[in-house]
Amino acid sequence: MKLNIYKDKQAVAKEFSEFLMEQLKEKEELTVALSGGSTPKIVFDHLAEHFAEAQWSKIKFYWGDERCVPPTDSESNYKMTVDHLFSKINVPEENIYRVLGENDPAEEAVRYGKVLNETLPVAGDTPRFDLVILGMGDDGHTASIFPENIEMWDADENCIVASHPQSGQKRVSLTGKVINNATAVAFLVTGAGKAEKVDEILNKKEGYKKYPAALVNPPSQNLYWFMDEAAAEKLSQ
Ligand code: 6PG
């Protein structure tokens, strides 16, 4: 596990963007599962501003989770990615593997799970991403696996349908077996609201495994945390 702690969100965005571009240099093709949330939004803005001319056609874009809403809905992680990145770079449509949020959630979880098996290398009967980007909620959720339904992490399927514990919003999410099968996993975690869970998880405090983010542990050992000082604040105490 590699901890990277930077002054603020902007520095996290800069450093992660450079990390992603480094990964791109080393490969002919890169398969990436994107995350929703506020930190990726800043990363996408940085990538669009500073790396618009990168070889985007080498990346195949997927999502680690998506809200079950139409692609035009303000809640859509796909829409956020279009607004902050895809609308500003040259990425071939065929490189974008959108979760069809407008579909029936249960049907879409099955369909997307098949897309992963058909378009990614499969290792140990599980699709393998080069890189899975994750956020972490203030409650310790990651992708759309929430503490309230942490058993979903161990589902046999590639993708499941989860419900947001407060809003009830349905989401399609990768499961733990796909996330941990990735060659690399990068957490983007910023803001003081994360500090408590970051401390509990990284210091393995009592009960830390009740948080889905704590279960991210790829055997590849390529687990990177990109945090700002606010999120890491309790670590240094
Ligand atoms: C989503 C995200 C979600 C997000 C966390 C952290 O679809 O909501 O995938 O898991 O990563 O909620 O979000 P922030 O980066 O905004 O704190």
Provide the pLDDT for residue 236. 72
Distance 74 CA to ligand 1 centre (A): 14
Provide the pLDDT for residue 24. 94
Chunk the chain into consecutive blocks of 10 residues (it has 237) and report each block's average pLDDT, rounded to whole numbers.
97 98 94 96 98 97 98 98 98 98 98 98 96 98 98 98 98 98 98 98 98 97 98 90
Q: How far is CA 82 from CA 1, 4, 45, 155, in A?
A: 31, 27, 11, 30
The amino acid sitting at 230 is: A
Provide the pLDDT for residue 180. 98
Cα(104)–Cα(29) distance, integer angstroms: 31
Provide the pLDDT for residue 237. 74
Provide the pLDDT for residue 83. 98
- What ligand 1 atom has the least distance to the C-alpha of 41? 15
Question: Would you say the CB of residue 176 lies under 6 angstroms from ligand 1?
Answer: no
Question: Would you say the CB of residue 212 lies under 6 angstroms from ligand 1?
Answer: no
- Give the CA dihedral 105, 107, 109, 114, nearest 10 degrees: -160
Question: Would you say the CB of residue 140 lies under 6 angstroms from ligand 1?
Answer: no
Give pairs for 165-168: CB < 8 Å, separation 24+. Answer: 165/139
